[in-house]
């Protein structure tokens, strides 16, 4: 017997999840008709009933407990897997316990942003119900793109880079010019690369000191101290090794890699491109921080920074510096080329390089030397904050300091001025902990901003967690749907449980409006997938592509079919 029941004019059909987010036609959809295997016989165990023009199939009483898909303890009445029964020769899944029409589904659904978060989002668009804001996405994307950059073989040869250095491969230069002086106090050339660890695949930042020989293994003590220092404002040193892979004796320091980082110099002191190559005639020859070209250190960097931005930088720098000093270490390269900015995060980079490069095994009193370097760090911090406030590196040249501080007094609070003056007062012994009271209640503002950012990110995480879950269901469904053959059975995906899943897939993605246009409703897809994942007792009416067969199942049964079919695939893949 063929089940020939046109849907049109039949009982109100597909349960649609009405949602304001429908991006297509609002009229109820129907399934796109396509050629599809349809049942040709109906087992004696199935009872047929015509309700308002639609034929429904019910198992007879002695078959009500047979099928496993109903064995989820559902009691879903009027539910039958007739098509599956036909194609597999199994009995239909059913239970005669009547089901209340109310939706029994209580699955996991992203409930939408919390009220405290919604006000922080740039603009509440339809998209934001499901996906992260564009700004966040593009930041993550650009980090991924940068992180995945690779040189091809010819570029690697062009840069004279080895294919492997110790446990690292795929070296990628992180600076425009591969060889630069390390720091004002150093004449050693150095290079920075991104590289991938051979066994873990994790990316790291390698700092190579060219032509460098370790004078003494004693400096490994200080390396260990740096390796132990963990702080969110300090780039973590992971290991140090010597290598001849570059054709010389190089020392390589391995740090955590933070993609899409900029140096503080590049972010705040490099003239914008609009300057059209104009050089400030008053810039002079002085290089206040390191051997960087004066072109990069000119004035003309746009408007002054808001005071809140400067304090946000100060708080992060002092936090990192406090951790460094408390660990009995000194930064020794507190320089805008050695501080990196990643998003809103500021980190001291290449920490410990100076300690290794300038290690002197003959120092009589190492503690006193550290203390002296810590004082130098504080002076360097004062110079950096002054330069930031003036947005000009020349402002910290000896002759300019006084007028620069006056400029700070005119444009910023006395707190900021006092902070800088304290750090410039080298006649007294200063301490990073003394800076805390100067920051004062601004600390709470920073904490509040960070917590608000955490709230927003947690909300995005909640969304993405649900997306990840839905993605896994889609992976399962797509591994099953339309599989050309399985265990030499080319009809596997078209029969039995799999046939139900195919019709469900059509219901999800291929619904059309009355006049045949695609009916696209993201909320419909999400809600149906959620009901499937939760094994809801709600019923869904599926229809064969030729519109000749109607199948009413619960989501619980579909879930059971999905799990069974996917387990079969898994078992076969593992065998």
Handedness of CA 39, 80, 78, 545 (dihedral sign): negative
Determine whether the annotation assigns residue 258 to a binding site: yes
Using the minimum distance from each CB to ligand ATP, give the nearer residue, 205 or 416: 205
Q: Which is nearer to ligand ATP, 341 or 477 (CB)?
A: 341
Query: Closer to ligand ATP at the Cβ: 238 or 522?
Result: 238
Task: Tell the smallest beta-carbon distance from residue 251 to ligand ATP (Å).
Answer: 15
Q: Does 50 bind ligand ATP (CB under 6 A)?
A: no
Cα–Cα nearest to 559, from 109, 68, 90 = 68
Contact yes or no for 183/189 (Cβ under 8 A): no
Phi, psi dihedral angles at 146 (to 5 degrees): -65, -40
Q: State the nearest-atom distance from the C-beta of 444 to ligand ATP, in Å.
A: 30
256 is in an annotated binding site: yes
297 binds ligand ATP (CB under 6 A): no
Contact segment (CB under 6 A) with ligand ATP among 255-263, 280-288, 388-396, 487-495 equals 255-263
- The verdict on 255 binding ligand ATP (CB under 6 A) reads yes
What is the per-residue binding string for ligand ATP in 308-347, x denoting contact by CB under 6 A? -----------------------------x--x-------
| 550-554/539-543 β-pairing | antiparallel
- Minimum Å gap between C-beta 36 and ligand ATP is 54
With respect to ligand ATP, which residue has the nearer C-beta, 170 or 263? Answer: 263
CB distance 552 to 538 below 8 Å: no
DSSP state at residue 91: P
Q: Which of 38-46, 260-268, 320-328, 411-419 is the region at the interface with ligand ATP (rule: CB under 6 A)?
A: 260-268
Does 255 carry a binding-site annotation?
no
Q: Pairing state of beta strands 189-197 and 180-181?
A: antiparallel
Burial 436-448 (b: 16+ CB within 10 A, else e): eebbeebeeebee
Residues paired with residue 183 on neighbouring β-strands, in sequence order? none
Please state, in angstroms and rounded to a whole number, the distance separating the CA atoms of residues 244 and 161: 12
Measured distance CA(66)–CA(491) in Å, rounded: 24
Residue 126 half-sphere exposure toward CB, CA atoms < 13 A: 8
* Contact residue for ligand ATP among 54, 196, 261, 395 (CB under 6 A): 261
491 has binding-site annotation:
no
Q: Near ligand ATP by CB under 6 A, which window of 147-155, 215-223, 261-269, 444-452?
A: 261-269
Structure tokens at 61: 């009483």
Give one DSSP letter per residue of 369-384, joined into a string: HHHHHHHHHHHHHHHH
Q: How far is the CB of 161 from ligand ATP (least distance, A)?
A: 15
Decide: is 257 part of the binding site for ligand ATP (CB under 6 A). yes
Nearest residue (CB) to ligand ATP, 255 versus 507: 255
405 binds ligand ATP (CB under 6 A): no
Figure out which of the listed residues 206, 219, 235, 330 binds ligand ATP, where binding follows CB under 6 A.
Answer: 235
Q: Write out the binding residues for ligand ATP, residues 526-555 only, by CB under 6 A.
A: none
Q: Would the annotation count 272 as a binding residue?
A: no
Q: How far is the CB of 333 from ligand ATP (least distance, A)?
A: 9
Smallest distance from the beta carbon of 255 to ligand ATP, in angstroms? Answer: 5
CA torsion through residues 232, 237, 238, 244, sign: positive
Please check if 411 is assigned to a binding site: no
CA distance 246 to 173: 13
Nearer to ligand ATP, 205 or 526 (CB): 205
Between CA 532 and CA 493 the distance in angstroms is: 19
Site stretch for ligand ATP (CB under 6 A), options 252-260, 381-389, 438-446, 481-489:
252-260
Structure tokens at 512: 């059309």
- Contact string 480-519 vs ligand ATP (x = CB under 6 A): ----------------------------------------
Residue number of the CB atom closest to ligand ATP = 180
Q: Which of 258, 332, 498, 502 binds ligand ATP (CB under 6 A)?
A: 258
Q: Is 549 exposed, middle or buried (0-12, 13-18, 19+ CB in 10 A)?
A: buried
Among 95, 349, 400, 544, contact with ligand ATP (rule: CB under 6 A): 349
Residues 133-192 that bind ligand ATP (CB under 6 A): 174-175, 180-182, 190, 192
Cα distances (angstroms) measured from residue 513 to each of 16, 19, 136, 507: 12, 16, 35, 12
Integer distance in angstroms from the first to the last C-alpha of the chain? 40
Burial of 186 (0-12, 13-18, 19+ CB in 10 A): middle
Buried b (16+ CB within 10 A) or exposed e, 496-517: bbbbbbbbbbbbbbbbbbeeee
Of 20, 18, 16, 25, which is closest to residue 125 (Cα–Cα)? 20
| Of the candidate residues 50, 142, 262, 418, the single one contacting ligand ATP (CB under 6 A) | 262
Report how many residues bind ligand ATP under the rule CB under 6 A. Answer: 21
Was 257 annotated as part of a binding site? yes
* Element containing residue 189 per DSSP (H, E): strand 189-197
Q: Which is nearer to ligand ATP, 166 or 307 (CB)?
A: 166
**273-292 positions binding ligand ATP, by CB under 6 A:** 290, 292
Question: Beta partners for 438?
Answer: none
Nearest distance from C-beta of residue 194 to ligand ATP, angstroms: 7
Which residues line the annotated binding site? 207, 256-263, 337-338
Which residues line the annotated binding site for ATP? 207, 256-263, 337-338
Contact residues: ligand ATP, CB under 6 A: 174-175, 180-182, 190, 192, 205, 235, 255-258, 261-263, 290, 292, 337, 340, 349
């Amino acid at each position: 017997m063929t089940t020939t029941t046109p849907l049109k004019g039949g009982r109100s059909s597909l349960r649609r999840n009405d949602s304001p987010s429908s991006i297509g036609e609002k009229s109820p959809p129907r399934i796109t008709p396509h050629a599809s295997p349809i049942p040709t016989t109906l087992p004696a165990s199935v009872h047929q009933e015509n309700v308002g023009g639609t034929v429904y199939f019910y198992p007879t009483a002695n078959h009500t407990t047979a099928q496993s898909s109903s064995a989820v303890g559902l009691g879903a009445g009027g539910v039958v897997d007739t098509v599956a029964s036909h194609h597999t020769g199994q009995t239909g899944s059913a239970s005669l316990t009547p089901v209340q029409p109310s939706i029994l589904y209580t699955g996991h659904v992203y409930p939408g942003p919390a009220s405290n978060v919604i006000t922080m989002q740039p603009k509440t668009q339809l998209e934001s119900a499901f996906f992260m804001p564009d700004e966040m996405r593009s930041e993550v994307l650009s980090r991924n793109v940068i992180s995945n950059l690779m040189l091809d073989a010819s570029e690697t040869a062009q840069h004279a880079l080895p294919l492997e250095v110790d446990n690292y491969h795929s070296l990628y230069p992180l600076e425009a010019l591969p060889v630069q002086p390390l720091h004002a106090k150093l004449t050693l050339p150095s290079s920075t690369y991104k590289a991938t660890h051979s066994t873990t695949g994790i990316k790291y930042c390698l700092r190579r000191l060219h032509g460098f020989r370790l004078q003494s293994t004693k400096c490994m003590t200080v390396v260990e101290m740096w390796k132990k220092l963990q702080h969110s404002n300090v780039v973590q040193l992971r290991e140090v090794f010597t290598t001849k892979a570059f054709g010389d004796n190089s020392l390589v320091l391995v740090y955590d890699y933070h993609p899409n980082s900029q140096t503080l110099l590049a972010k705040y002191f490099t003239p914008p491109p609009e300057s059209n190559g104009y050089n400030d005639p008053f810039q002079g020859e002085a290089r206040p921080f390191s051997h960087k070209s004066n072109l990069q250190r000119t004035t003309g960097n746009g408007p002054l920074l808001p005071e809140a931005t400067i304090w946000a930088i100060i708080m992060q720098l002092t936090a990192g510096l406090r951790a460094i000093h408390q660990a009995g270490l000194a930064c020794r390269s507190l320089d805008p080329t050695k501080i990196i900015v990643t998003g809103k995060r500021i980190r001291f980079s290449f920490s410990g390089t100076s300690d290794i490069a300038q290690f002197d095994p003959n120092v009589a009193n190492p503690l006193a030397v550290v203390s002296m370097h810590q004082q130098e760090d504080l002076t360097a911090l004062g110079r950096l904050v002054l330069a930031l406030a003036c947005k000009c590196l020349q402002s910290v040249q000896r002759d300019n300091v006084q007028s620069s501080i006056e400029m700070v007094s005119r444009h910023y609070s006395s707190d900021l001025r006092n902070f800088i003056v304290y750090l410039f007062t080298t006649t007294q012994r200063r301490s990073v902990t003394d800076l805390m009271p100067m920051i004062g209640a601004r600390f709470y503002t920073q904490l509040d901003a960070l917590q608000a950012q955490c709230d927003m990110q947690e909300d995005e995480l909640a969304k993405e967690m649900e997306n990840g879950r839905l993605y896994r269901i889609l992976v399962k469904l797509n591994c099953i749907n339309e599989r050309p053959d399985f265990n030499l059975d080319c009809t596997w995906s078209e029969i039995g449980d799999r046939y139900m899943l195919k019709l469900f897939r059509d219901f999800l993605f291929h619904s059309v409006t009355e006049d045949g246009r695609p009916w696209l409703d993201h909320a419909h897809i999400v809600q149906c997938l959620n009901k499937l994942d939760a094994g809801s007792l709600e019923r869904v009416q599926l229809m064969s592509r030729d519109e000749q067969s109607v199948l009413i199942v619960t989501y619980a049964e579909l879930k059971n079919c999905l799990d069974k079919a996917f387990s079969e695939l898994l078992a076969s893949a593992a065998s």
